[in-house]
Amino acid sequence: MTTLLDWLRDQRGLKGTKEGCAEGDCGACTVVLERADGKRDVINSCIALLGQIDGHAVRTVEGLAGRDGGPHPVQTALAESDATQCGFCTPGFVMSAYAFAAGSEAPELDAIHDALAGNLCRCTGYRPIVEAMRKVSGMAIEPGAPPPERRPQSAEFEGGFFAPRTLDELLKLRAEHPDALLLAGGTDLGLLASRLRRPPAKLIHVAHVPELTAIAEDKENITLGAAVTYAQALPVLVAAFPALRSYLSRLGSRQIRTSARTAGKIARPSPTGESLPALLGLGTRLTLASVRGARELWLDDYFLGYRKTALAPDEVIQSMSIWKLRRSDVFYCDKLSKRRDQDIATVAGAYLLKVGKGGIMDSRIAFGGMAAIPKRADNAEMALLNSDFDGAIAALAQDYQPIDDWRGTAAYRLQVAGNLLRRLKLRLEDPGRPVEVEAL
Pairing outcome for strands 181-183 and 161-163:
unpaired
Average pLDDT over residues 308-325: 96
**CATH code, 132:** 3.10.20.30
Question: What is the model's pLDDT at position 45?
Answer: 97
Average pLDDT over residues 113-140: 90
pLDDT at 238 over 60: yes
| E strand map for 118-220 | 155-157, 161-163, 181-183, 203-205, 215-217
Does residue 310 sit within a domain? yes
Does residue 81 sit within a domain? yes
Does residue 242 sit within a domain? yes
The number of domains in the chain is 3
The Cα 154–Cα 169 span in angstroms is 8
| E strand map for 299-346 | 303-305, 308-309, 316-323, 329-336
Q: How far apart are the first and last CA of the chain?
A: 47
Does residue 262 sit within a domain? yes
Whether residues 267 and 299 share a domain: the answer is: yes
Residue ranges of the alpha helices (H) in 268-388?
A: 275-282, 378-384
Higher pLDDT, residue 140 or 253 = 253
DSSP 317: E
Last residue of a domain, one of 92, 109, 136: 136
Whether residues 198 and 92 share a domain: the answer is: no
Whether residues 280 and 385 share a domain: the answer is: yes
Question: What is the model's pLDDT at position 379?
Answer: 97
Count Cβ neighbours within 10 Å for each residue of 76-100 and write b for 16 or more, e otherwise.
Answer: ebbeebebbbeeebbbbbbbbbbbb
Res. 438 pLDDT band, cuts 50 70 90: low
The Cα 283–Cα 329 span in angstroms is 12
Torsion of CA 302, 304, 306, 308, to 10 degrees: -70
Domain residues for the domain of 348 are 211-433
**CATH code, 276:** 3.30.465.10
Does residue 409 sit within a domain? yes
Q: What angle do CA 14, 18, 19 make, to 5 degrees?
A: 130
Does residue 274 sit within a domain? yes
Whether residues 118 and 197 share a domain: the answer is: no
**CATH code, 167:** 3.30.43.10
The Cα 247–Cα 390 span in angstroms is 25
Does residue 93 contact residue 78 with C-beta atoms inside 8 Å?
yes
The Cα 341–Cα 118 span in angstroms is 8
User: Among 19, 21, 43, 41, which Cα is nearest to 30's?
Assistant: 43
* Residue type, position 130, single letter: V
pLDDT at 439 over 70: no
Interval 317-345: pLDDT, tens: 999 999 999 999 999 999 999 988 888 99
pLDDT at 254 over 60: yes
Question: What is the model's pLDDT at position 440?
Answer: 40
Does residue 409 contact residue 392 with C-beta atoms inside 8 Å?
no
Last residue of a domain, one of 180, 207, 234: 207
DSSP string across 30-44: EEEEE-TTS-EEEEE
The Cα 49–Cα 33 span in angstroms is 14
Average pLDDT over residues 18-41: 91
Predicted structure pTM score: 0.92
SS3 398: helix
Whether residues 72 and 99 share a domain: the answer is: yes
Lowest mean per-residue pLDDT among 60-74, 242-256, 279-293: 60-74
Pairing outcome for strands 161-163 and 203-205:
parallel
Cβ neighbourhood burial of 136 (10 Å; 0-12, 13-18, 19+) = buried
Res. 84 pLDDT band, cuts 50 70 90: confident
User: Among 221, 200, 217, 207, which Cα is nearest to 167's?
Assistant: 207
Does residue 240 sit within a domain? yes
Whether residues 403 and 339 share a domain: the answer is: yes
Pairing outcome for strands 284-290 and 221-225:
unpaired
Question: Percentage of residues in the chain with pLDDT exceeding 90?
Answer: 75
Residue 190 vs residues 24, 49, 59, 107, 300: alpha-carbon distances, Å: 9, 7, 20, 33, 28
What's the mean per-residue pLDDT of the chain?
92
SS3 360: strand
Does residue 58 sit within a domain? yes
Whether residues 195 and 228 share a domain: the answer is: no
Interval 375-427: pLDDT, tens: 999 999 999 998 899 999 999 999 999 999 989 999 999 999 999 999 999 99
Count Cβ neighbours within 10 Å for each residue of 307-326 and write b for 16 or more, e otherwise.
Answer: eebebeebbbbbbbbbeebe
Higher pLDDT, residue 141 or 215 = 215
Res. 126 pLDDT band, cuts 50 70 90: confident
Whether residues 348 and 260 share a domain: the answer is: yes
Question: What is the model's pLDDT at position 181?
Answer: 94
| E strand map for 86-228 | 155-157, 161-163, 181-183, 203-205, 215-217, 221-225
Question: Any residues with CB less than 8 A from the CB of 170 and at least 6 apart, and which?
Answer: 164, 204, 206, 209, 212, 316
User: Among 269, 312, 321, which Cα is nearest to 293's?
Assistant: 312
CA-atom Rg of the chain in angstroms = 22
Whether residues 291 and 418 share a domain: the answer is: yes
User: Among 261, 216, 264, which Cα is nearest to 240's?
Assistant: 216
